[in-house]
Amino acid sequence: MDEQSELRLELKRDFTEFLDQDFGRETGVGRYVAKVDDIIKHYAQTKRVRLEVDLQDLSDYNEELHRRVMGSPSTCMPPFEEALEEFIRNRSPKLLEESQRVHVSFTGEFGPHTTTPRQLTSKFLSKLVNLQGIVTRCTLVRPKIVKSVHWCPVTGQFQSREYRDVTSNTGAPTTTAYPTKDESGNLLVTQYGLSTYVDHQTVTIQELPENAPPGQLPRSVEVVMEDDLRDACKPGDRVAIAGIYKPVAPAANGSVSGVFRAVVVASAVRKLSRDAQGPSFTEEDYDNITELAGEDDVMEQLGRSLAPSIHGHDTIKKGLVLLLAGGRERTLQNGTHLRGDINCLMVGDPGVAKSQLLRAVMNIAPLSVSTTGRGSSGVGLTAAVTTDADTGERRLEAGAMVLADRGVVCIDEFDKMNDGDRVAIHEVMEQQTVTIAKAGILTSLNARCSVVAAANPIYGHYDRTISITRNIGLPDSLLSRFDLLFVVLDSNDAARDREIAEHVLGQHRYRAPGDDGKNAGDDRYIDNLEEDEERERGITPMYVKYDARLYGPRKPGQKEPLSLPFLKKFIAFAKQRFATPELTPEASDAIAEYYADLRNSQEVKSLPVTVRTLETIIRLSCAHAKVRLSAVVEKADVENVQALVDIILKSDPSAQETRKSSGRRDAAGAKRGRDAGNDSDSDGDEGMDDGADRQQPGAAAAAAAAPEDGVQAMDADDEMISEDEAAAPAGAAASSPLAAGEAIRQAVDEVLQRSGGAVCSVTGVKAVLAAKGVTVSAAAIHEVLTELDAADKIIIDGADFYPAH
């Protein structure tokens, strides 16, 4: 017996003893015997025999056997499979068919053999590897012949021939030519029914997008999956594949090239979960996250920290924070899928930091795929059916949205996309699937991602006299799929322009700690000793040191911005631990009432109010509850979302111009009417001057007494309060009518300042007062608004108002 046969028998004997002893870490008795019994039990339905062996169990049993498996799996696999087949036949002699293929696969900890397509180099050839990546393309499942049977009509005898290729672990590869004649020259007839075939499929694994080095093309590797492993994964799946990395000799056309192609022959496929690749939290992180969520201004802090180097855009930043947190995804019992991902579209003039906001979202999102409107097609975003150059087969290739499953897709220059390509993403943005019906391939791929798009108007600059739809040229069917739509305008404001100029100049003057000015602007060579020390200790700092040159002048009471690693951890914690917030009855009633008011309102809105708007409010409310780390959606979440939705729906500059012009015409007409009335009364007033002069002392006394009477009357009126005001806390109500009026005026000024000239609503004033703990009636707010309108400070338009100048 030669040395190779002895080694084969030794390996077979060792694995047989491993199974006989039933060695295992987790159970004292019956671990692998139970697995074999389970295979025997389900064999009639599955026709599948594959035993998964934990490498740690193999190492504990025999370290030398474990080393051989990792170093030369092609030598170990055949005797292992023979031992397993004998083990099964001993327990159930009549179970397995004669041509049944028996497989042994390995799972567990692979140590340094856990790799990615980029790290898969020649040192791993002919070794067992654990390859992690994302599936980008799959070929069709085709039969591959293993053994052909031929019959000779002259002699009446049968002949058989076995075929082996690179995927085989027994013997050298054979030729693929069919025998047509026997040794005597007689013709042979192939018996296809007696031949043996095996399913064969090839998939392409690409390195994970978040792990790929920026600015470099992602690496890919082909994986061969046969028999029961076919269709174990589809494009877009994140998988860990255990297999043997094997070289493939090039085709010999007179000369043989020294450059080989390499593939991975899979023996086990395991899908990776998104949570398994999330950040790890320390006890200090838990304390910091809980502390931040308990603060009243948590949304303001998160919004300012999203992109602190970008001046302004506070409302947009808050909306993007809610987008990163996401709503609640639901799949009902009847199969209806309700998406939880939030989509956002930013439209506006050039040079207003739309692309920079997209870049900020990409830096924070754990999985993000970036593309542009002109640089991508419809099939490039969804999925494509391509032809394999080697075999000529059709295969499915995943697009950007399928690769970004459970992530964010950032599309810049959205307006430059062709109409036909833009229609392809309609299904993704609502149903969150990609359905393919091309070239005989019918399938559906998951594309559960948020879409963040930025677009410029058709005419270069935003035309304030026409609607958003005409400015961007998008149909309502697509606009209604965007939950958030922000119009970003480049307004001429001297004070604001000076603030932006100082902010930008401060960034150009900024020099990081440790920068001596000799690195030619490359921050990679700057050593920050504090950050390096904290990173070595595994500490994630909560805040970054405030620098006025980098973040602009610091306002009174403004806190330091959150650090980028902590912001990532906070959003990941909110999405993982509070993924399913429940709606309270109060929140449901508030959402229903607000939606009904929007539908019945006669105002011109930026977006059509449909049932999708109702789902938008629900998603945003759930996201706001996640940010607060709350398991329930409360009425306060809905009120904060209402203020955001009001800004979105009333942000159309064309509607604002129409309201302003009509408001000015009404105000001018009322003023002319008042002037005409004053002129007609002037004659009568002249005759009353003397009487007025004579009654002046008495009038002065009455005027002196008027404040006390007025206060008493106010107190009497204050006793007649509503049920809501009576239920409010004592500390929440204003201490006096004068204090309430001043609080309302301050709230109105704050709302006007936030809107930047846009239309404001009474709901926004209520939200600001509620945040300050002040409870007033709607009548008191309308009274103050009427006084400000009479003073020509604002113009009232129904339930809304906007600045007069």
Q: Is residue 655 assigned to a domain?
A: no
- Specify the CATH number for the domain of residue 322: 3.40.50.300
Asked whether residue 624 carries a pLDDT value surpassing 70, the answer given is: yes
Q: How far is CA 573 from CA 286, 541, 630, 721, in A?
A: 9, 16, 12, 43
CA-based nearest residue to 55, from 112, 101, 9, 100? 112
Residues 6+ apart with CB under 8 A from 202: 138, 139, 222, 223, 224, 225, 263, 395
Q: Which of 111, 98, 105 is nearest to 76 (CA)?
A: 105
Pick from 17-31, 132-146, 167-181, 234-248: least confident? 17-31
- The answer to whether the beta carbons of residues 361 and 100 sit under 8 Å apart is no
Tokens of 653: 């500059």
pLDDT bin (cut points 50, 70, 90) of residue 304 is: confident
Task: Reply yes or no on whether the pLDDT at 43 is more than 50.
Answer: yes
| Residue 691 maps to a domain | no
The rounded percent of the chain whose pLDDT value lies above 90 is 0
Distance between CA atoms of 399 and 206, rounded to whole angstroms? 12
Q: How confident is the model over 379-396, as a mean pLDDT? A: 72
Are residues 88 and 133 part of one domain?
no
Average pLDDT value for residue range 160-182: 76
Confidence of residue 736 (pLDDT cuts 50, 70, 90): low
Confidence of residue 526 (pLDDT cuts 50, 70, 90): very low
In 3D space, the residue among 359, 597, 337 whose CA is nearest the CA of residue 448 turns out to be: 337
Separation between Cα atoms, residue 558 and residue 581, nearest integer Å = 30
| pLDDT the model gives residue 686 | 42
Cβ–Cβ under 8 Å, residues 128 and 243 = yes
Asked if residue 389 is part of any domain, the answer here is yes
Rounded to 10°, the helix 283-293/564-577 angle is 80
Shared domain check, 44 and 135:
no
Question: What CATH number corresponds to the domain at position 243?
Answer: 2.40.50.140
C-alpha triplet 728, 733, 737: angle, nearest 5°: 140
Range of the domain at 308: 283-512+538-649
Mean pLDDT calculated for residue range 167-186 = 75
pLDDT at residue 574 above 50?
yes
327 by DSSP, 3-state: which?
Answer: coil
Q: Is the pLDDT of residue 511 over 70?
A: no
pLDDT, position 548? 66
Helix (H, G, I), strand (E, B) or coil at 314: helix
Residue 497 included in any domain: yes
Considering the domain architecture, whether residues 102 and 119 belong to the same structural domain is answered as no
- The residue among 778 and 717 whose pLDDT is bigger is 778
Q: How far apart are CA 596 and CA 617, in angstroms?
A: 12
Residue 698, burial from CB neighbour count under 10 angstroms (0-12, 13-18, 19+): exposed
Report phi then psi at 730, rounded to 5. -65, -35
Token pair recorded at residue 131 = 């390859």
CATH code of the domain containing 53:
3.30.1640.10
Q: What is the mean pLDDT of residues 641-661?
A: 70
Let me know whether 215 and 318 are in one domain. no
Residue 528 lies in a domain: no
Q: Using CA atoms, how far apart are residues 714 and 333, in angstroms rounded to an integer?
A: 57
| pLDDT beyond 50 at 300 | yes
**Residue 518 domain-assigned (yes or no):** no
- Are residues 425 and 340 both part of a single domain? yes
Q: Is residue 28 part of a domain?
A: yes
According to the model, what pLDDT value does residue 440 have?
A: 72
| pLDDT over 60 (residue 441) | yes
How far lies 366's CA from each of 301, 408, 565, in Å?
Answer: 20, 9, 11
Cα separation of 382 and 434, whole Å? 6
* pLDDT bracket for residue 25 (50, 70, 90): very low
Question: Residue 18 pLDDT more than 70?
Answer: yes
Of the pLDDT bands very low, low, confident and very high (cuts 50, 70, 90), residue 718 is very low
Query: How far apart are the C-alpha atoms of 531 and 362, rounded to whole Å?
Result: 22
> Cα(647)–Cα(641) distance, rounded to whole angstroms?
10
At residue 705, the pLDDT reads 35
Q: Report residue 490's pLDDT band, with 50, 70 and 90 as the boundaries.
A: confident
Residue that finishes a domain, picked among 253, 272, 291 = 272
pLDDT at position 759 is 72
Residue 322 lies in a domain: yes
Cα–Cα dist 399/417, whole Å: 16
Pair 217, 352 in one domain: no
Assess whether 131 and 95 both reside in one domain.
Answer: no
- Predicted TM-score (pTM) of the model is 0.61
Give the pLDDT confidence score for residue 472 in this predicted structure.
77
Is the per-residue pLDDT at 342 higher than 80?
yes
pLDDT value, residue 457: 84
Question: Which one of 599, 623, 649 terminates a domain?
Answer: 649
CA distance linking residue 736 with residue 746, whole number of Å: 15
Q: Last residue of a domain, which of 89, 109, 129?
A: 109
* Pair 103, 136 in one domain: no
450 pLDDT more than 60: yes
Question: Could you tell me if 25 and 154 lie in one domain?
Answer: no
Better-predicted residue by pLDDT, 665 or 781: 781
- Regarding whether 167 and 42 lie in a shared domain, the answer is no
- Number of other CB atoms surrounding residue 597 within 10 Å: 13
User: How many separate domains does the chain show?
Assistant: 4
pLDDT at residue 730 greater than cutoff 50: no
Q: Is the dihedral of CA 117, 119, 120, 124 positive or negative?
A: negative
In whole angstroms, give the CA distance from residue 546 to residue 559. Answer: 9
Q: Do 289 and 265 reside in the same domain of the chain? A: no
What SS3 state is found at 678?
Answer: helix
Residue bearing the bigger pLDDT, 689 or 652: 652
Per-residue model confidence (pLDDT) at position 722: 36
Mean pLDDT of the chain: 75
Q: Which residue has the higher pLDDT, 434 or 539?
A: 434
Are residue 241 and residue 331 in the same domain, yes or no?
Answer: no
Per-residue pLDDT at 641: 87
